[in-house]
Structure 1
């Protein structure tokens, strides 16, 4: 599926891949986010096609209602609700700014926590 808008000049189509890429960049920029979590399916597809694809983001479109689910791996020592709220806000603002489509919800799933010393220093 993709977001589609038609005007007097023709059609504009924004794929789910693009929406996921925008959301992925916005989520990764939040302090306390180590990385985005991948599903087993995403990991397998990436290994098979040997290409970079946004992981950790699910896009749900229902007409003009856009919902995103973001799976995160967060740093130990940070307050998880604060990270999640910052991700929700950042993802919503970025997707709306770059696409012009309203985001009705951003769901955050904390998939794992990183206890490594490197993660705690940033």
Structure 2
């Protein structure tokens, strides 16, 4: 599994893809318009060991660039581009706030629209 690294005067801090995915998922689920994550699109170690913490998130680290792919289900009636932009900004900000790592891309993939059960 790849890790994102931060070099300090005291050494190197390595943060796993799983940690970044967990932060991204938690951030996504805090946005009211995001109903759930679509776990059919999780990749990496979480899908192998069955860890649901990063369901619906794929993290790639290429040439020191962190790329986050989110697979979400959006509440019916929401403006999808606005939700996606809010999600991109929130994930990028939270990962930087918690880890000091700058995310190069946050790609939002809307997999479903969820209708309210009560009508």
Under TM normalisation by the shorter chain, which class is it? Answer: 0.7 to 0.9
Q: Does 1:82 align with 2:112?
A: no
Structure 2: unaligned runs, 5 residues or longer: none
Q: Which residue of 2 aligns with 1:16?
A: 17
Q: Which residue of 1 aligns with 2:65?
A: 65
Q: Which residue of 2 aligns with 1:97?
A: 97
Deviation (angstroms), 1:40: 6.1
Q: Deviations over 1:88-114 (max 9, x none)?
A: 111111111111121111110001111
Deviation (angstroms), 1:116: 2.7
Q: Any runs of at least 4 consecutive aligned residues in structure 1 with deviations exceeding 2 A, and if so which?
A: 5-11, 48-53
- TM-score (structure 2 length as normaliser): 0.84
CA contact (8 A) 2:68 2:105 kept: yes
CA contact (8 A) 2:41 2:71 kept: no
CA contact (8 A) 1:31 1:83 kept: no
- Counterparts of 1:14-53 in structure 2, within 5 Å, are 14-39=15-40, 49=49, 51-53=51-53
Aligned pair count reads 116
Deviation (angstroms), 1:27: 0.9
Structure 1: unaligned runs, 5 residues or longer: none
Distance, in Å, in 2 between the alignment partners of 1:116 and 1:107 is 26
Distance, in Å, in 2 between the alignment partners of 1:40 and 1:81 is 20
- TM-score (structure 1 length as normaliser): 0.82
Rg larger in 1 or in 2?
Answer: 1
Distance, in Å, in 2 between the alignment partners of 1:87 and 1:41 is 18
